[in-house]
Structure 1
């Protein structure tokens, strides 16, 4: 049995803690606002990861710290770095490995599909730059580090473009407006598969200082909307795409720079994750069913 600290009590952090607890490990799940949890082997602790001294005390004896915390989308440039820096200082103080939850933004708009984990990071957006700097700071730590990079989430509790823009309209039977090319294939990652990849990374025996991609399933936004409606027993409502002018007028400023992710196919090579970590993507139907379970 090992001791692990999971920073961030969102859907991925909780699922990661649950998996570790089920494996018999001692787990502490920390967040500034974590409440009571009912997860075997998991203790909840209210703490702020920007406080490196406090996080060090909590992490004493830990094999690894999972950094799964999420900053408000519009505050990434100001809020993420103190969390990462606190995590790095704490991990160095207790000699714990770091597993960083990341995404694909750092590859930038000019990267060729299919994205593989060996591609250089070349961000073309503010949020992509933030993610790149986060990994740079973690990878320079005096302890081993791995980043797990995921595409857009599906699953219970996911807060993503699909859950914010499309799902409410699908549930209400209203016309659906979404981003980019509705017919371009897009990689979707299941929250439970993200957690499985994070946990598997902790036991990776190869060379650290690298990234792994979460195995994904592919569907165009149009196909995902249709399949979600069918699972809910709803008629498929008309679909359209937001224009950039419309997005700006509606106050969707933070989404404009990331629209490129949906303007063309987004393909992700996760073959090394499947081969080295033994993690494969769940079926798309399973992902959708978990996403809409509160609406069925």
Structure 2
């Protein structure tokens, strides 16, 4: 069995640690605020990933480091780079492989769909640029690196456009205000499938320095809301669309530059991941049920 370090104790990081521990590996789950956790073969260590030397001490003997940390959404351009640099440097110090949790922002608004893992990155947003630079930093590392790219999350504890804009209103049977084209097919990624893809990719025997897409389910925002309301035993409420002007007026500045993701179909080709890594997307109902877990 191997030793692994998972940086970031959000939904994906915790699930990644759980899966690795269930396989019998020794796992260190670390973040600045991580507490104790009852997972087999998993121990938690509080640490700041920007401190490469401290992270390297934690990572001694690790086969791989999983970079699953997140920065506050509005602070990506300032907070993400020091985290990424610390993780990369720690991996170089201990000679560990590097698996980076990324997303599809780097392809930009002009990308052809379905998105393929080998398409050039051409970001058209600040956040897409940040993600692209982070991956370039990993590629320059002196250790092998892979990036696992996801679309918008569904799952327990996930903080996404759906969970922030639609879910609270669906739970309260109130009108929903969302963004984009309600009937454009969109890729939804289950947090547990992200973790499964990360773990599977850690054993990839081909040439590293590439990306894998997390297998996702494709349905329109309207259909996702319909399915969620039905699982809640509620009628689908009225749905309206925020204009860019409304987003700005309401202080939703972070949504404006990323709204392109919902204004046309966002399809993600994960056939390579399915064929090579053996990971398939779980059902949409499973994703919704986990998203609703513990919701009153």
1:139 equivalent in alignment to 2:139: yes
Which residue number in structure 1 is paired with residue 202 of structure 2?
202
Which residue number in structure 2 is paired with residue 32 of structure 1?
32
CA contact (8 A) 1:153 1:160 kept: yes
| Offset, 1:118 | 0.2
Which residue number in structure 1 is paired with residue 113 of structure 2?
113
Which residue number in structure 1 is paired with residue 234 of structure 2?
234
Counterparts of 1:218 and 1:77, CA distance in 2: 29
| Offset, 1:295 | 1.9
Which residue number in structure 2 is paired with residue 258 of structure 1?
258
RMSD: 0.5
Which residue number in structure 1 is paired with residue 102 of structure 2?
102
CA contact (8 A) 1:2 1:63 kept: yes
Counterparts of 1:295 and 1:18, CA distance in 2: 23
**Paired residue total:** 296
Aligned runs of 1:174-185 on 2, under 5 Å? Answer: 174-185=174-185
Counterparts of 1:249 and 1:13, CA distance in 2: 35
Which residue number in structure 1 is paired with residue 50 of structure 2?
50
| Offset, 1:277 | 0.3
Which residue number in structure 2 is paired with residue 276 of structure 1?
276
1:162 equivalent in alignment to 2:137: no
| Offset, 1:12 | 0.3
Q: So what's the TM-score if we normalise by structure 1?
A: 0.99
Counterparts of 2:168 and 2:143, CA distance in 1: 43
Counterparts of 1:179 and 1:30, CA distance in 2: 35
| Offset, 1:36 | 1.3
Counterparts of 2:36 and 2:94, CA distance in 1: 27
Q: Per-residue CA shift, 1:94-146, capped at 9, x if unaligned?
A: 00000000000000000000000000000000000000000000011000000
Gapped runs of 5+ residues in structure 1? none
| Offset, 1:240 | 1.1
Q: Return structure 1 stretches of 4+ with deviation > 2 angstroms.
A: none
| Offset, 1:171 | 0.1
